[in-house]
C-alpha cells in the first residue's frame, strides 16, 4: 500500500564521493543507512497509508507534493509541499498520508552518532 519507494543514492561516509563510483545503489532497499553514511530515497505514499520509521537514524522527510503527518508519542504534526519533518535519533515516529492524493516526499536517513 506504499505506492513507490526507491533509493536514489547512498554514501558510506559523511562526505559524498563525487567520482560516481562509490554512491551507486545496489541490492535491496534497507531500513537503515550504511554505517557512518546517508541514504536518500524518494517515496510515494498512497492515501491513508502509513510507514513506521527507523528510530536508529536521523530522518528528514521533505514533502514535494501532498500532505504528510508525523505521529509520535508526543503528538503529531502535518506538513505540506515544500515543508519537512525532522525525526531525531531514538524518537519513535510514523508518517502517514492524510490526503486524498498520493504524497511524494524525499527521505534522508543519516547514521547519526
Note down the domain range covering 66.
Answer: 3-110
**What integer is the mean pLDDT of 51-79?**
93
**CATH number for the domain including 10?**
2.60.120.10
Name the band, by pLDDT with cuts 50, 70 and 90, for residue 8.
Answer: confident
Name the band, by pLDDT with cuts 50, 70 and 90, for residue 20.
Answer: low
**What integer is the mean pLDDT of 80-95?**
92
Q: How far apart are CA 73 and CA 83, in angstroms?
A: 21
Residue 71's pLDDT is: 94
When divided into structural domains, the chain yields a total of 1
Which residues are paired to 87 by β-bridges? 59
**What integer is the mean pLDDT of 60-64?**
96
Asked whether the predicted pLDDT for residue 23 surpasses 60, the reply is no
**What integer is the mean pLDDT of 94-113?**
93
What does pTM read for this prediction? Answer: 0.86
Amino acid at each position: 500500500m506504499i505506492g513507490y519507494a526507491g533509493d536514489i543514492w547512498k554514501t558510506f561516509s559523511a562526505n559524498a564521493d563525487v567520482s560516481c563510483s562509490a554512491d551507486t545503489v545496489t541490492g535491496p532497499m534497507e531500513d537503515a543507512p550504511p554505517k557512518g553514511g546517508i541514504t536518500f530515497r524518494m517515496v510515494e505514499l498512497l492515501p491513508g497509508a502509513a510507514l513506521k520509521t527507523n528510530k536508529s537514524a536521523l530522518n528528514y522527510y521533505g514533502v514535494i507534493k501532498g500532505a504528510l503527518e508525523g505521529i509520535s508519542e508526543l503528538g503529531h504534526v502535518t506538513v505540506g509541499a515544500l515543508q519537512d519533518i525532522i525525526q531525531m535519533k531514538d524518537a519513535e515516529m510514523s508518517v502517514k498520508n492524510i490526503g486524498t492524493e498520493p504524497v511524494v516526499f524525499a527521505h534522508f536517513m543519516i547514521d547519526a552518532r
